[in-house]
């Protein structure tokens, strides 16, 4: 596995673009992106579990029912959610606009939106900007596309790798957005993944669904599950590897690459949480099973009191045990060990559920770094899981206090 550059356009046959069309008031902010495959693709997606779903998800799920797609169109600045049939019509029109400008069927277009909920989307500005959007399609268009999908994100989120599937080089590239309204219930983000691997739609869905559970579903920023979350992957087969249509060594090669890439994106999203100053990684080990470890790790990263303690570089580990205790009751708190680690060092603060003497200044220095790991050992088994979150700061309240206005 080699990390390379290029994002969603790195794989053979993919181009992208991003422009400002006027959905967002700030003319310096791009707000419309397009990703195109030279050939039709196997496709798979995972969607939010929120009962209130964005209208684009309705259209995209219909279009991907046959496991095929060739293009993705995404707007930022307006979620097109809670907009009724007018919103569904707007999403369909976005797909139709792509089909009018390119040799792609409307039913093979993935549609996604992100931004303010409860406002009708003005498709006329998208229509007026389509010529510019299509004209901008290129192999370097990933740079504009990754910017156009951002809302409150402060950094662009892009990962690209080259792997070997059997003996064939295969590229997987991705871009994502996500900063607020992030909580583990599917993906709580928008993620777009492209690959030139030859893989069936069924195996692509199998791989994506499994990967999401162990990566994007283990991220939380603020406990709010978005209405528009989706992760979509397109595979056009242009790498020339033997078609993956069943489990085996080649499927495992692809799965491992996809899992690594998705883990990096998940960490980026947590690190870029609205107002965040630190990435919090929590690993629960020594559990009786992985599900238990995952739920307890989520409980820790979702705790507002843990998040604020990390913000203040306060080694208040009692808040961690508190979060474990209300998340699940089927463990022995008298066996739990807790430790903190960062680039500054490692320190144990709790052993068998009781305090250890530790140097407060050293602990504060460790917790002052931008990436902090919390280790929790249950000492009851061999399973473990890692989840990712961020600290909770004054800035989070400021950003969301006037998000719409």
Cα–Cα distances (Å) from 221 to 270, 271, 281, in that order, read 6, 9, 12
Dihedral of CA atoms 194, 200, 202, 208 in degrees, nearest 10, equals -30
d(CA 129, CA 114): 18
Contacts of residue 192, defined as CB under 8 A and 6 or more positions apart, other chains included, come to 8, 35, 72, 74, 112, 149, 174, 175, 176, 231, 232
d(CA 346, CA 374): 10
What's the length of the chain? 405
Active site residues: 188
- What are the tokens at 88? 């569904």
d(CA 174, CA 197): 14
Beta bridge partners of 194: 173, 234
Q: Crossing angle, helix 318-327 and helix 290-302, to 10 degrees?
A: 130
């Amino acid at each position: 596995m080699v990390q390379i550059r290029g994002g969603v356009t790195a794989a053979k046959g993919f181009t992208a673009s991003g422009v400002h069309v006027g959905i967002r008031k700030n003319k310096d902010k791009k707000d419309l992106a397009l990703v195109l495959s030279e050939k039709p693709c196997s496709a798979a997606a995972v969607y939010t579990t929120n009962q209130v779903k964005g209208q684009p998800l309705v259209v995209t799920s219909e279009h991907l029912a046959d496991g095929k797609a060739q293009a993705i169109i995404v707007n930022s600045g307006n979620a097109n959610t809670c907009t009724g049939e007018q919103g569904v019509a707007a999403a369909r029109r976005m797909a139709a606009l792509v089909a009018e400008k390119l040799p792609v069927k409307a039913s093979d277009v993935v549609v996604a939106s992100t931004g303010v909920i409860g406002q009708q989307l003005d498709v006329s500005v998208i229509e007026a900007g389509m010529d510019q959007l299509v004209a901008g399609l290129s192999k370097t268009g990933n740079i504009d596309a990754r910017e156009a999908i951002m809302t409150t994100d402060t950094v662009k989120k892009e990962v690209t790798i080259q792997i070997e599937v059997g003996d064939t080089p295969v590229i997987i590239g991705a871009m994502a957005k996500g900063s607020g309204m992030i909580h583990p219930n599917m993906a709580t983000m928008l993620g777009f993944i492209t690959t030139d691997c030859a893989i069936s739609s069924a195996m692509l869905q199998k791989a994506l669904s499994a990967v999401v559970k162990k990566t994007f579903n283990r991220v939380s920023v603020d406990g709010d599950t978005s209405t528009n979350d989706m992760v979509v992957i397109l595979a056009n087969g242009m790498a020339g590897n033997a078609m993956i249509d069943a489990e085996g060594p080649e499927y495992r090669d692809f799965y491992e690459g996809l899992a690594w890439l998705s883990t990096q994106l998940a960490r980026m999203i947590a690190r870029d949480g609205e107002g965040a100053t630190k990435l919090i990684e929590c690993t629960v080990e020594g559990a009786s099973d992985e599900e238990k470890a995952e739920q307890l790790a989520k409980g820790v990263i979702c705790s507002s009191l843990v998040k604020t303690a990390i913000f203040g570089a306060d080694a208040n580990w009692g808040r961690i045990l508190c979060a474990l205790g209300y998340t699940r009751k089927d463990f022995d708190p008298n066996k739990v060990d807790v430790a903190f680690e960062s680039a500054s060092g490692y320190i144990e603060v709790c052993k068998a559920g009781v305090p250890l003497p530790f140097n407060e200044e050293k602990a504060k220095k460790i917790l002052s770094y931008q990436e902090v790991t919390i280790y929790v050992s249950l000492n009851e088994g061999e399973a473990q899981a890692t989840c990712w979150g961020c600290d909770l700061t004054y800035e989070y309240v400021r950003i969301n206090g006037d998000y719409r206005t």
